[in-house]
Chains A and B, each alone.
Chain A
Amino acid sequence: MLLAVIVVLAPFAWLLISSVAAPVDLLRRPLAWIPQHISLDRFAELTFGSSSSENAEGFRAALINSTVIASAVTLVSLTVGTPAAYAFARLRFPGRGWLILAFMATYMLPPIALILPLYQIMAFLNLRDTQLALIIIYASFVTPFVIWIMRGYIASISSDLDDAARVDGASRLGVLWRIIVPISLPGLLSTALLAFLMAWDEFLYALIMTETTASKTLPVAINDFIGRHGLDFGLLATGGVIAALPPVVIAFVFQRYIVAGLASGGVKG
């Protein structure tokens, strides 16, 4: 038990230490595990500091891009995904079975198979290097995931409530909005969090589609960092900690919802 806890935490601890340690401490041999000089300067430089270095500006832009893109993707995929999930869970219609399989197949398709034509199409539409391009692309694989989880969640709600409301004259949309959505708030929350994390984490599409700070997301910014400052480990660690902070905090605070969402998304039909 103790060993497992140490193995899980030690790499994190080292990343955190590296992010605040002075460069001399990190390059010492033999390595001193507890740094002698600690400073938050690099955090300030990369976030709110007045520094106008290329690093700082690029990183801040990436932080904003990632936040905007992941939030928009979450919003779009929940908005279009929830009604579809309701339809798959409750309504009978021709093609229901194969359509959900087709959606799941698109979710699992490897990005490498789509990326060449998507790159050309986005260039053709003048959307290369825009946040919108990434929002559109991410929504296409986050939405099936939302449908999959929410379909299971809605199916687990008793349909007696639906029927009662329908008898009282509510439309399907009314049932969805006034009954299903309020009851499924925990499910929607866990789905939203997972959707956000999926979009935050994506790398390959972003690597190809983005060119400047107009759309570069954090994973791409970190990739650039490695290229430019391969030896400035302290700065790399600081960038890593900042990029990791939102998902790690979300996962920690909303642990129960995340685990429930993961279980119903990954291993339950």
Chain B
Amino acid sequence: MSEAILARPRQTRQKRAWPESWVAAAFVAPAALVILLVVVVPLGRALWMSLFNIQLTRPGNEPFVGLGNYIDQLTSGDFWGATGRALYFTGVSTTLELSLGMGLALLMDQPLRFRWVLRTIIILPWALPTIVNALMWRWIDNAEYGALNALLTQTGVLHSYQPWLSNSDTAMWMVILADVWKITPLVAILMLAGLQSVDREIIEVARVDGAGAFQVFRFIVLPLITPVILILLVLRTMEAFKVFDIVWIMTNGGPANSTQTIAIYAYQTAYQGFDFGRGAALGYLIALVIMVLAAVYLRLLGRTGRT
């Protein structure tokens, strides 16, 4: 097609049409309104609130405390305890989800006879609403009538029923188990998508050259899907650090605060301690951590998007 043919319509079009950036503004404006109004205004207000001592039990008396709420938190044992528990939950659940997810993905990638069964049902735990998942595990882990106790005693692993969720040594592990059961399939699905994008020919060539299954995985597949793994790692870390729903339904943060992660702590400070100033400061501290992780995540996404 020559330039001459295209030139004429393009000129007439430009006379009638808006400049491109006006069109863009009109297209983006409704979304920007929906997103930013609900976020920017509260975000500013939360910052403002976090600088005051606002106790709902003491209305009308809300002195300005500057960074006092932040300093209180950063020097408080409760805050670091909750941060530590959130990090523990994040570290253990993310490690398990990524390694088990990788295993499942490799399994589903093999030309096995019944892999379609697994591929079909693997999406179900992910689809189960978080609250229902938490409720289900709360019931399975029940101290008196739970299926876990029944299973373990009937198979002879345990002699007596255990109060899994009301024992502060096991409660966190039960929450992690429930989270891993729900999230591992999602990780596996995304890893499988990564595996399937690996060029089969490279693998065939390596096989012909005498590489074993482990070598193919270690030196060819793994480097190629490392970007996907990294992205999932950051994404899961971000989600796990701010965990609230599953913990709240299963244990309410108990027993003896043993499952009180940072988001639970912030919620309890604001809505059970009626301390909105400190609650807002805690919200900001959590958001800060999440935003650092988000920046890493978006950078990684940008890098894979370009290649």
Contact = CB atoms under 8 A, between A and B. Distances in A.
A88 B35 CA distance: 15
A203 B244 CA distance: 9
B102 to A, nearest CB: 13
**Chain A: interface secondary structure?**
helix
B124 interface: yes
A68 interface: no
Contact of B127 (A7, A88, A251): A251
Contacts of B283: 110, 112-116
B137 A11 contact: yes
Nearest to A225: B135
A262 interface: yes
Contacts of B30: 79-80, 83-84
Interface string B274-307: 0010011011101100110010011001111110
B157 interface: no
Nearest to B245: A203
A4 B107 contact: yes
Contacts of B18: 172
B174 interface: no
Contacts of B107: 1, 4
Given A106-B39, A117-B46, A267-B193, A94 B21 contact: yes
Interface in A252-269: 252, 255, 258-259, 262-263, 266-269
Interface in B27-56: 27-28, 30-39, 41-43, 45-46, 49
Nearest to A222: B131
Contacts of B291: 105, 108-109
Interface stretch (B64-72, B201-209, B227-235): B227-235
Interface stretch (A34-42, A50-58, A181-189, A233-241): A233-241
B175 interface: no
Contacts of B43: 109, 113-114, 117
14 contacts: A4-B107, A26-B145, A30-B153, A84-B31, A93-B24, A106-B35, A110-B283, A139-B38, A169-B13, A172-B27, A203-B131, A243-B131, A258-B123, A267-B193
Given A108-B294, A222-B135, 18 more contacts: A1-B112, A30-B150, A30-B153, A83-B26, A84-B27, A84-B30, A84-B31, A87-B23, A91-B21, A106-B35, A112-B242, A136-B34, A167-B10, A172-B23, A222-B131, A233-B145, A250-B127, A252-B124
Interface of B: 6, 9-10, 13, 17-18, 20-21, 23-28, 30-39, 41-43, 45-46, 49, 104, 107, 112, 114-115, 117-118, 120-132, 135-140, 142, 144-145, 147, 150, 153-154, 181, 185-186, 189-190, 193-194, 228, 231-232, 235, 238, 242, 244-245, 248-249, 263, 266-267, 270-271, 276, 279-280, 282-284, 286-287, 290-291, 294, 297-298, 301-306
